[in-house]
Structures are given as structure tokens and as C-alpha cells.
Amino acid sequence: MVTLRRLQPHPLDIAAARGNLAEAFVDDPLMVWMFPDERLRPHFIAAWMGVFVEAYAAGAHIDLLIDDDAAEPSVVGAAVWRLDDSPLPFAQLPGLGPLMEAFMGSDRAAAVGMGLASFAEHKPDGTYHYLMFLGIHPSQQGRGLGRLLVAEGQRRAAAAATPVYLESTNARNLGFYRSMGLQQVGDFVLEPAGPPVYRLWWQP
């Protein structure tokens, strides 16, 4: 049985969510662009996403799906949400910038950082619930678990009479999001030589 609960700002929860997202995103075009070394990519993703998971766990909202039938209950899905525009408590050490420099070198980190800044530049105005990451463990995909996580976020947004906004860097996911009622409202390309980013919106 799979159960849904909110992540607690505890090291074990954070590590489990970070590990799940790293495996779920290992072939995502964004991560392939950021971390082209296939051998090192899973480790880099886990470290990079870990900074976000820690900050969002403390200052925003993360939904987890737990497989209770496993020998030890394990995280099989995670959705990382920001529900308002209050500042998030990102750790200063290690910060995102130093991590990226360690992974890529300073020149590549600067170029990728400028590309990632496009996300902020294309955010819509107004109030909305923002789905930053949605990840289902590769071994559990195709079971409808992503629908459970998105539907939970939509339920929460509808209760607050608030839209949902997200970006996807994987075109294969667009059909799924459209089936959940989201509409594409634009796109942009990450430079230099990065993937397209699809902007999606849901109105309750």
C-alpha cells in the first residue's frame, strides 16, 4: 500500500526525498544538460536537489508517497511545492553556487547559472502554488502515483482558490500534465544549448 504524507524537516526524510528525486530525474533533459557526465550525474543531482529539499522542507511544502509494503517503508514519490512567496531558508554552506562550481568548474557554473535564471524571468505574476519538482522512482512509474501527488496539490490549491503553475523540461511529461487539466501557457529555451522549458498552468 502507498500512503501520502507531508515531509518532515528531519534528516532521514530529507535524505529519502533527495534520493528519490535524484533517481527520478537522472535522465531528465535539464539534468543531462547541467550534469553531462552520466557516471557522476546521480551524485551531483542528489547533492544539488538536496539544497532545495532542505529549504523547501523548512519553509514550504513537500508531499511524499511511502511504499508501506516494502521490507522497510521507502519513499517512492515526492512533490516539492512552494505555496507563497515568503523567503526560503537556503543553507549558506554548501550554497548552490559553490556546489555548482565544484561540480562543473567556475566558467560552466556561471553559464548554467545564467541559464537557470530564465526560470525566474518567466514566472507569471500574481499568486499561485508552484510545483518545483515532481519525481516518481523509476521502479514505480506507470502506477498512477504521479497523479496522486498532482491531485493532492490541486486539491490544496482549489481549497485556497489559487492556481497551480509549473515548468517541465521533459516533453514526454506534457501529455500527463494535460490529462491532469494543466494547459501550456508558453515555453522558453535554456541557454547555452539547453533544453526547452514548457510552462503549464491549472486554474481551479
- Mean per-residue pLDDT pooled into runs of 10, the chain (204 residues): 90 91 96 95 93 93 89 86 93 81 92 95 96 95 95 98 98 97 97 96 97
3-state DSSP assignment of residue 71: coil
pLDDT at 71: 67
**What local confidence, expressed as pLDDT, does residue 27 receive?**
96
Which residue range(s) make up the domain with 102? 2-202
- CA-wise closest residue to 80 among 57, 96, 101, 62: 62
The residues, ordered by sequence, that sit 6+ positions from 164 with a Cβ below 8 Å of its Cβ are 128, 129, 130, 131, 153, 154, 157, 182, 201, 202, 204
Q: How many distinct structural domains can be found in the chain?
A: 1
Q: For residue 99, what pLDDT is reported?
A: 87
Whole-prediction pTM: 0.94
Say which CATH number the domain at 89 has: 3.40.630.30
Cell of 114: 545564467
For position 73, what pLDDT does the model report? Answer: 67
